[in-house]
Chains A and B, each alone.
Chain A
Amino acid sequence: MSITNLLENWSDFRQQHPSDDRPHREYKWAMSIDLDACTGCNACSVACYAENNLPVVGKEKFLHGHSHHWIRIERYWANDGREFADQGAQFLPMLCQHCESAPCETVCPVGATNHTADGLNSQVYNRCVGSRYCNANCPYKARYFNWYDYPTTDNVWPEPMNQQLNPDVTVRGKGVMEKCTFCVQRLTVAKSNARSEGRSVLDGEVQTACQQVCPTGAISFGNLVDPLAKVGKQWMTQQVDLNKDKQAKDVAEEAAKLRGYRILEELRTYPSVMYLEQLREGSI
C-alpha cells in the first residue's frame, strides 16, 4: 500500500458497514448454529483446542477467567422456579461473530484486527500490541488475551506434546489477543485448491473444526454468496438478512415459525453467525 493508494482509495481502505453497493463478490463465510440441536457436549470446544493450538491453562487459571476457549458453551436457565436439574440448561455456543461492522476493528490502535475480503474478522498476531481495546469494545466478549506465555514459561505443551501442535496455526506468545478465525487455515487451503482448478470453493468442501465434530450437526458453515450452500439456504429460509439489524422473526406477525436471529443485533454489529432459536416445550 503506497500513500497515494491510501489517499485515493480511502473509502476502500476500511470497510466498516455492510452495504448493498459493495457486496461480497466471491466469498462471505458465515455460520448458523441450531440451538435446538445443540446438546452442550463441548465437542466443538475440544476440537477447537486441538485445531487452533489453544493452550489448556489449568483449573486455577481457568477459574481466574484466563481460559482460551475460542468457542465456549454457555449455559442458561429460565427463571421459572424449577430446580436447575429438572428444567435442564439451555446451551449457547459462543464464538467470534465475525461482525460485518465489527466494534473491535475500529478501535484497535495499530490496526491488528481487520476485515478481509471474505468477510472474516482477522487478527494479525504480529501486529498486536496488547492494548486489549478490542476486547473491551466487543459486546460478545469473544476475544481472548494471552495473559501468560503459555508455550515457554508456562510450558503448556511439554515434550513430546508439542508434536501434536497444528503446524498450520501459529502458537501465540504472551500479550497478544486472539479469537476464533473460522479456521482460516482450512479456508486458505480450500481456496488455494479451488483457485488452481479455476473454480470457487464448493459447499462442504471446507469445514470448521467445531462443525466437523458436532455430533448433532448443529453447526453449519459455508459461503453465503454461493446460492447452493446449506448455510445460505438456512439464512434464506429464516429470512435473516446480513445487512439488517432486525430480522423477520422479530418483525413479522406470522413469523411464529421463524427461528433465526443474531445475538445483540440492535448494536448494529451485523454478525456472520445466525442462531436458530431453541424450540420451547410450549411451541411444539
Chain B
Amino acid sequence: MGKDIREDIAWAQINKDVLKSLESPRRMYWIILFIAIAMIGVAVGSEIYQYQTGMGVSNKNNSHVWGLYIATFIFWIGMSHSGTLLSAILHLMHADWRKPIYRFAEAMTTFSLMTAGLFVLVHLGRLWMVYYVMPYPNERWVWPNFQSPLVWDMFAIATYLSSSVLFLYVGMIPDLAICRDNIRAGWRKKLYTVMSLGWEGTDRQWRNFRITYLTIACFLIPLAVSVHSIVASDFAMSNMPGWHVTSFPPYFVAGALYSGCAAIITLFIILRYVFKFEEYMTLPIMKKLVRLTFAIAMVWTYLNLIEFASVWYGHDQTAKDQLIFKATGPYAPFFWAMIFFGSILPLMLAFKRFQTHLPILFVVSILLNVGMWLERWMIIAPSFAHGHYPWTWDHDQWPSLVQWGIVFGSFGWFTLLFMVFCKVFPSVSMYEVKEMVYHRSLALKHKPAVKGEY
C-alpha cells in the first residue's frame, strides 16, 4: 500500500495548490453552476405552483399523506452524517488520513442539512405557519406539543445545523488567515479579514483553537447520532406497520453514514479531478475511505436483515403482510433495486481491484446513493399503501411531477451551495495537511525498528 501523502511536499506548495482552487473558475464551472441554478428553477417553479394551488397537485391523497418530500428529507439528513464522522469521530481517533478530505465532507454536512430543512417547509400544508413548531413566548401560552417526534426533529436539526456550521467555521479559521495573507484586495480580502478573526498563529491562539475544536468535535458526535435517531423516531414512534420498528434508530444512523460516505467518494473524485488535488486526495486515502464505506454498508445490510427478521418472526401479522407487500406488490421493483444497490453492489468494494479504480468508484458511489434514496422511499410509501386499514389498500399513488421536480431541484440547490463554497473557501484544509506531512516526515526520520506501515 502506498503512502497517504508524500512527506516532501513543501508547505508553500500546499498553500499554492489549495489557493489555486479559489482562483477564477473555468468555463465548465459556470456551465455546471448554470445547470444547478436551472434545476433550482424547476423546484422553485413547482413549489410556487404547489403553494398557490394547494398540496393536492403533488398527488398525495388522504391515505398517502407523506411522499417524496419526507423520503428526500431523510435522505439529505442522512447525507449530512459522514462529515461529522470524518471530521469529529476520526479526529478523536487520531486517524490522520482524514485530514485532506474532511473539509469538503464537513461542508457537505452543512449544505445537505440546509437542503433537508427546505423539505420540511415544502412538505407543510401551511408553511407560513411553520413558526408554530417553535416554542416562543406568546400571550396565550400556547406551546408546541413536546410529545411529537416532529418537535424533537426541529430541535435536533436546528442544533445540529448550527453546531456543524460552527465546527466548519472554527476549523477553517487558520486557513482563512492564510487566504487573507495571500490575497491583495477586493471583497475576498475583506471577507477573509473579517472571518479569520485576527488569526496570527501565535501559540496562545493555537492552544485555544485546539481546545475549542476538540470541544465542538466531542459535542457534535452524540448530536450526530441523536439527530438521525430522532428522525427515525418519526417512524418508530408511530403505529404504522413497516414503521413501528424498534431497530429503526440504529438502522437510520447506519444508513445515514452509508449514504454520506458514498457521497464523499463521489465528491472526492470530482474535486480531485476538477481542482487537480492528486497530491492530497490520494489513492491510499481513497482506499481507506472505500473500506470504511464497505464496512458501514455491511452494518446497514445487517440491520436491514434484522428488521426483516424481527418482523418475520414477530407476532404482528399486519407488519408481516406489509413486508410481503413491499417485496411482491407494486413497489417490488424499487424494493429489490434498493436491496441490490444497497447490499449487493457494495460487495464490489471488498475487492482491491475496485478500491482505487476511480471511474468505477464514481459510478458505484452514485448508485449506492440511489439505493439509499430508494431505501427512504421504501420506508415511506409502501406503509401508506398497505397499512392497518383495508380501505387504504389499492390506492396506488404515483408522485406527481411537482414532487419529482422539487426533489430534482434539491440536488441543484446542494450543488450550487457546494460549488460556491469550493470557490470561496479552501476545500482542502491547508494547515492540517501541513500537520500531516510534518508528522509523517518526523516518523520517517525516527523509523521504528519494526517493519510496517504507520
Which residues on the A side are within 8 Å of B140 (C-beta)? 1
Interface centre among B132, B142, B240 (most CB of A within 10 A): B132
Closest to A1 in B: B141
A4 shortest CB reach to chain B, Å: 10
Which residues on the B side are within 8 Å of A127 (C-beta)? 132, 142
Of the residues B53, B54, B150, contact of A131 by C-beta under 8 Å: B150
Indicate whether A108 sits within 8 Å of B126 (C-beta atoms), given known contacts A141-B389, A145-B65, A148-B54.
Answer: no
**Number of A interface residues in the complex (CB < 8 A):** 49
**In chain A between 193 and 238, which residues have their CB closer than 8 angstroms to a CB of chain B?**
none
**In chain B between 53 and 83, which residues have their CB closer than 8 angstroms to a CB of chain A?**
53-56, 59-66
Question: Are B147 and A129 in contact, with the CB atoms below 8 A?
Answer: no
Alpha-carbon gap, A130 to B58, bound state (A): 14
A148 shortest CB reach to chain B, Å: 4
Instruction: Give a binary string over B271-302; 1 marks a CB under 8 Å from any A CB, 0 the rest.
Output: 00000000000000000000000000000000
Alpha-carbon gap, A53 to B206, bound state (A): 68
Question: Are B145 and A109 in contact, with the CB atoms below 8 A?
Answer: yes
CB of A89 closer than 8 Å to a CB of B: no
Binds B, one of A34-42, A62-70, A158-166, A243-251: A62-70
Indicate whether A66 sits within 8 Å of B124 (C-beta atoms), given known contacts A107-B237, A136-B238.
Answer: no
Of the residues B62, B147, B390, B391, contact of A135 by C-beta under 8 Å: B62
CB of A50 closer than 8 Å to a CB of B: no
Closest to B125 in A: A130
Closest to A2 in B: B141
Of the residues A94, A109, A129, A144, contact of B62 by C-beta under 8 Å: A144
Alpha-carbon gap, A137 to B150, bound state (A): 13
Alpha-carbon gap, A127 to B129, bound state (A): 8
Which residues on the B side are within 8 Å of A2 (C-beta)? 141
CB of A157 closer than 8 Å to a CB of B: no
**In chain B between 388 and 419, which residues have their CB closer than 8 angstroms to a CB of chain A?**
388-392, 395, 397
Of the residues A14, A94, A128, A141, contact of B125 by C-beta under 8 Å: A128
Closest to A264 in B: B388
Question: Are B391 and A141 in contact, with the CB atoms below 8 A?
Answer: yes
CB of B143 closer than 8 Å to a CB of A: yes
Indicate whether A66 sits within 8 Å of B56 (C-beta atoms), given known contacts A109-B145, A139-B388.
Answer: yes
Question: Are A109 and B133 in contact, with the CB atoms below 8 A?
Answer: yes
CB of A95 closer than 8 Å to a CB of B: no
Question: Are A103 and B125 in contact, with the CB atoms below 8 A?
Answer: no
**In chain B between 203 and 240, which residues have their CB closer than 8 angstroms to a CB of chain A?**
234, 237-240
Instruction: Give a binary string over A55-75; 1 marks a CB under 8 Å from any B CB, 0 the rest.
Output: 000000100111100001010
A66 shortest CB reach to chain B, Å: 5
Which residues on the B side are within 8 Å of A187 (C-beta)? none
Indicate whether A132 sits within 8 Å of B66 (C-beta atoms), given known contacts A2-B141, A127-B142, A175-B125.
Answer: yes
CB of A241 closer than 8 Å to a CB of B: no
Question: Are A129 and B126 in contact, with the CB atoms below 8 A?
Answer: yes
Alpha-carbon gap, A109 to B150, bound state (A): 6
Question: Are B145 and A111 in contact, with the CB atoms below 8 A?
Answer: yes
A250 shortest CB reach to chain B, Å: 16
Question: Are B141 and A103 in contact, with the CB atoms below 8 A?
Answer: no
Question: Are B141 and A147 in contact, with the CB atoms below 8 A?
Answer: no
CB of A267 closer than 8 Å to a CB of B: yes
- Could you show 15 A-B contacts with beta carbons less than 8 Å apart? A1-B142, A2-B141, A76-B390, A106-B147, A107-B148, A107-B149, A110-B133, A129-B132, A133-B150, A139-B389, A141-B62, A145-B55, A147-B54, A149-B54, A175-B54
Q: Which residues does B use to contact A, with CB under 8 Å?
A: 52-56, 59-66, 123-127, 129-130, 132-133, 140-145, 147-151, 154, 234, 237-240, 384, 387-392, 395, 397
Q: Given contacts A135-B62, A136-B384, could you give 12 more A-B pairs where the C-beta distance is less than 8 Å?
A: A1-B140, A64-B61, A65-B64, A110-B133, A128-B129, A131-B123, A131-B125, A133-B234, A143-B62, A147-B60, A148-B53, A174-B55
